[in-house]
A and B are shown apart, each in its own frame.
Chain A
Amino acid sequence: MASEKGVILLDFWVSPFGQRARIALAEKGVQYEYKEENLTEKSELLLKANPVHKKIPVLIHDGKPVCESLIIVQYIDEVWSDKAPLMPSDPYQRAQARFWADFVDKKVYDCGSRLWKLKGEEQQAAKKEMIEILQLLEAQLGDKKYFGGDSFGFVDVAFVPFTSWFYSYETCANFSVEGVAPKIVQWAKRCMERESVAQTLSDPKKVYEFVCFLKKKFGVE
Chain B
Amino acid sequence: MAESDLKLLGMWASPFVIRVRMMLEEKGLSYEYIEQDVFNKSELLLKHNPIYQKVPVLIHGARDICESLVILEYIDENWSWIGPPVLPATPYKRAIAHFWAAYIEDKLMLSFVGILRAPTEEVKAEKIAETHTILEMLEGAFKKCSMGKGFFGGDSIGYLDVILGSYLTWINAAERISGAKLLDETKMPLLVEWEKRFLAADCAKKSLPSVDQLEKHARNLQVTRWKVDSAN
Contact = CB atoms under 8 A, between A and B. Distances in A.
B66 interface: yes
B99 A71 contact: yes
A178 interface: no
Question: Interface of chain A, helix or strand or loop or mixed?
Answer: helix
B102 A92 contact: no
A68 to B, nearest CB: 6
Nearest to A103: B51
Given A52-B103, A78-B91, A91 B78 contact: yes
B139 interface: no
Interface stretch (B67-75, B119-127, B165-173): B67-75
A68 B74 contact: no
B144 to A, nearest CB: 12
B217 to A, nearest CB: 27
B67 A68 contact: no
B7 interface: no
24 contacts: A61-B92, A66-B95, A68-B98, A68-B102, A71-B98, A74-B94, A75-B92, A75-B94, A78-B94, A91-B74, A91-B77, A92-B65, A92-B74, A92-B78, A94-B73, A94-B74, A94-B77, A95-B70, A95-B71, A98-B67, A99-B65, A102-B67, A103-B51, A136-B51
A67 interface: yes
Given A68-B98, A136-B51, A79 B91 contact: yes
Interface string A85-113: 00000011011001100110000000000
Interface residues of A, number: 21
Interface of B: 51, 60, 63, 65-67, 69-71, 73-74, 77-78, 91-92, 94-95, 98-99, 102-103, 137
A1 to B, nearest CB: 14
Contacts of A52: 103, 137
B99 A64 contact: no
A94 B72 CA distance: 12
Contact of B63 (A64, A71, A92, A102): A92
B99 A68 contact: yes
Contacts of B103: 52
A74 B97 CA distance: 12
Given A94-B73, A99-B70, A136-B51, A64 B92 contact: yes
B95 A99 contact: no
Contacts of A67: 99
Contacts of B77: 91, 94
Q: Which 6 A/B pairs are nearest by Cβ-Cβ distance?
A: A78-B91, A91-B77, A91-B78, A95-B74, A75-B95, A66-B95
Contacts of B94: 74-75, 78
A99 B102 contact: no
Contacts of B137: 52
Contacts of B70: 95, 98-99, 102
Given A66-B95, A91-B77, A98-B73, A71 B102 contact: yes
